[in-house]
Structure 1
C-alpha cells in the first residue's frame, strides 16, 4: 500500500516546565493586593513591550531553527536595549536610567514564557533547557556575536567588569543592585584618562550557585583572558556590600557559604572546578588581588571612603576541629579558608573564579580583583519603586564605581606607557 500522506512519526511537543523560584516572584506585589512589582518595573521602563514582542516571536516561530534564532535575537536585543536605556539612548517610561531592574524582570519574564511555551518545534526538555541557557547567557552580555572589542584601537586599555543581578528578593522584590547598574553604564563605554582612552566590556552575573557550578563566571571572563589580541588589560568583578563603603577586596577564598541565592539554594565547602576551562595546579586556597588598589584609593572618589579591605576567616594549618576557626588580617601558611575579605558568598566566588582562571590561562600580567560597592537605602513608603532621594543615591554609588574603574584603568595605562603591550 502506498501512503497518501507523510507517515513518519513526529515526536510529541515538550511539556511545559514548572516555573523556577525566580519566575514565581513575577506575581509578587510590593504591598498586599497591589500590582506585581515586575509588572510595574516593566511598564515604567517600556520593557513590557520588549517582553510582549519576545513572547509573540517565540509563539510564532515556524521551525526548530526559527525558534533558536528567535531566542538568540530576543536575548541579544534585551541586553542591547538595557545598555542603551542605561546610557540614555532611546529610553522610554519614567523609570530612572540607572535602574537595573528592567533587565532582570524582563529576562525573568521571557524565561518564564519559554519554560511554559507549547510549540510543535519544541520536542524535548533538553532542547527547552538549551534554549533557556541561550536566553540567559546572551541577555547578560556573556555570549555575543562579532568582535569582543568592537571598534577598539590597538592602543586602548581594555577592561572587563561584571556586576550582579538583584538579590535578597524574599526580603523585598523591590531590591536593585548598583553593581548591575554600573555594568550597564560601563558596557561599551570609552573612558578618558590622562594616559589615554579605556574601553570597557561588561556583563551581569546571576546570583545562583548552580550557574556558578556550570561555569558562568569562566564563560564570561575566559574569552578576554586567553592569549592573543583580545586579551584584556584589567579585569574586576563588582558586587554590593554594606552601606556606605567601597572596598577593594584583598583576598578571595576557595570557600563558599553565605545566605541562600536567588533560587533559595545554599552550597558550602570549596569552590567547584569549572568544566571546559583550565584550572591551576595545585588549586589555590587564596588569591590576592592585583588591582592597582593604591591608585584607586588615592583617586579621591566619593561620596564613600575607599579602602583595601583586609580580614579573612580560616582554619589554621593542621586544625581539624570546626571550632578552631579564627579571624586574621591575612591568610596564614597552610591554612584552610572559610571566608575571604569579601566573605563566603558569590561575591567572593566571582573574584576567586575569574582570577583562578586568569592564573590558569597565564594572564599573570593582567591585574584582577574585586570591588565591593555601597548598598542602597530605600524609600520609607513600601509601595513605591523609588523616589528622588533613592535615585540620587543609586546614581552616586554607580558614578563612584565608574570613577574607580577609570582610576584603576588609568594606572594600568600609565604603566603601559613605559612598557607597551603587544597585541
Structure 2
C-alpha cells in the first residue's frame, strides 16, 4: 500500500481537498428483493463489487468467499434479525452485537485447523460488506433518518473490524496492531487478499511467550477508505488501547515485493490515490475530532529497529527504509518541486511522503503515532511494517491456489514473529 506523489491529481495549496472520482453511492441493479429490503436503495462502490465475477458464468466472488469461509449463516442470521427489529434501540444493539460477533467468529476461524484456509482474510471482508449493504437497503417498520442509518452502518463496521474490542489481559507486554482490508479490487483483482489483514486476525487476543516475556496482542483491520480515516477509525482503536498502558503501537500494511520494511518516517500528506470507494484525497492529513492532534510534518518510528532487523525471522528479508519526501521550501505544499532523500527532514519543511509513501498505510502510521505523541505516551514504541506484496493465484479464474495460500501464510506468520519482538 505504497503510493507517492500522484501528479495526475490537481494540487491544492495548503488545503486538504477530497476528490470524488466516481459516485460513492449509486443504485444497484439486478439485486433480488427480500422481505424487508429495497434492492434499489443506494449502496457504496465497495458493496457493489459483491456482484463481480471472475468469469461470466462463475459465482460472484464475494458471496462465494463468504460461503467458503463459513460466514454465510452468520450473514443470513443477521439479515433475518434485522427484518425482525422494531425499534432504533434494538437496531443499535443488533449492529453492535452483529459486528462484534462477526469479528470474533473471524478470529476464531483464523485459529481453527479445520477451517477452509484459516489464513484467508477475504471471507470477513465480504461478509462485512453483505451486512452493511443490508443495513443500507433495510426498510424498517419505523422511520429511520439517513443520519441514523449511517450510524448503524458505522456501528456494525467498527465492531466487525475489532476497533471496539481492544481489551488486553493484565501482567503482560501489550501490543496493539492494525492490518488492512484488501484493496485495488477492480476487475479480476476482486479476488485480492491482504496479508496484513490476515496477520491481524492471527494476532487478535493471541499470547506469545518470548525471551523478553509474555506478549499479548489486540488487533483490528482498518478500512481502505479516506472517509473512515477522517472519522477517526485509527484514533478510536489506538486511543482505546492507550487507556490500557500498552507497550507498542504497530501498524501493518502490504508493501513492496519480496521484502519487509520497517518504515522510519510517517508524513503528513495524502497523495491522491483512489480508495476502495473510488475516492481520492490530496493534501495534508486532516485532524480527527476529539483526539490530541499535534501538528508534526514527520513523525519518526520508535520501534526497536535493530531488534526487528536482527530477529532472524524468515523467509523474507527485513530492511530499514529511511526514505522520505518533502516539498521544497518557498513553494506551497502540493505545488512546486519535491525533494526525496534518506537523511533528516529539513526543519519547517512540509511533508510530501513518508517512508511508506503517501497512501493510507503511511497515514495509519502517522495517525497512530500522532495520537501517541499527543497523549504523551513517550514510553510506547510506535511504527509501521510493510509486508511483502502478496501475488494473486496464477489462474485468472481461480480464487486460490497452493502457492497463493502458502505465501500468505508465510507473510502472516513472519508478521507475528516480528511484532512479538517489539
Which of the five TM-score ranges fits, normalised by the shorter chain?
0.7 to 0.9
Give the match's secondary structure for 1:407: coil
Aligned partner of 1:206 in structure 2 is: 223
Q: Where in structure 2 are there 5+ consecutive unaligned residues?
A: 1-35
Report matched runs for 1:326-341 at 5 Å.
Answer: 326-330=339-343, 331-341=345-355
* CA–CA distance in structure 1, aligned partners of residues 155 and 140 of structure 2: 18
**CA distance in structure 1 between the partners assigned to 2:148 and 2:37 by the alignment:** 9
1:278 and 1:360 in contact (8 A); partners too:
yes
- Do structure 1's residue 21 and structure 2's residue 21 form an aligned pair? no
2:207 matched residue in structure 1: 190
Q: Does 2:402 correspond to 1:385?
A: no
3-state SS of 2:43 partner: coil
Residues 14 and 118, structure 1, Cα contact 8 Å, conserved in 2: yes
1:305 paired with 2:333, answer no
How many Å apart are 1:212 and its aligned residue?
Answer: 0.5
Cα root mean square deviation, aligned: 1.7
Question: Any idea what the Cα deviations from partners look like across 1:63-117, whole Å, max 9, x if unmatched?
Answer: 322222222211110000000000117x55xx30000001100000000011000
What is the TM-score of this pair, normalised by structure 2? 0.88
Aligned equivalent of 1:352, options 340, 354, 366 = 366
> Does structure 1 conserve the Cα–Cα contact (< 8 Å) formed by 2:273 and 2:280?
yes
Matched positions, count: 383
Distance (Å, rounded) in 2 between the aligned partners of 1:308 and 1:47: 39
For the 8 Å contact 1:316–1:332, the answer to whether it is kept is no
1: distance between equivalents of 2:278 and 2:86? 36
Equivalence for 1:413: none
CA–CA distance in 1 between the matches of 2:337 and 2:125? 41
Tell me whether 1:324 sits opposite 2:331 in the alignment: no
SS at match of 1:304: coil
Matched, 1:87 2:111: yes
Instruction: State the 4+ residue runs in structure 1 displaced beyond 6 angstroms.
Output: 13-16
Cα–Cα, structure 1 residues 308 and 163, in superposed 2: closer, same or farther, change >3 Å? same
Instruction: Provide, for residues 240-288 of structure 1, a one-character-per-residue CA deviation record: whole Å limited to 9, x for no partner.
Output: 00210100000000101142000101111100011011222xx101000
Cα deviation for residue 324 of structure 1 reads 2.1
CA distance in 2, matches of 1:240, 1:175: 12
Distance change (3 Å), C-alpha of 1:276 and 1:17:
farther
Deviates more, 1:33-42 or 1:391-400: 33-42
Displacement of 1:14? 11
Distance 1:21 1:385 in 2: 21
Question: Which one scores higher on RCO, CA 8 angstroms, separation ≥ 6?
Answer: 2
**C-alpha contact (below 8 Å) 2:311/2:418 kept by paired residues:** yes
1:139 is aligned to 2:152: no
Equivalent residues of 1:37, 1:173 under 8 A apart? yes
Shift of 1:319: 3.8
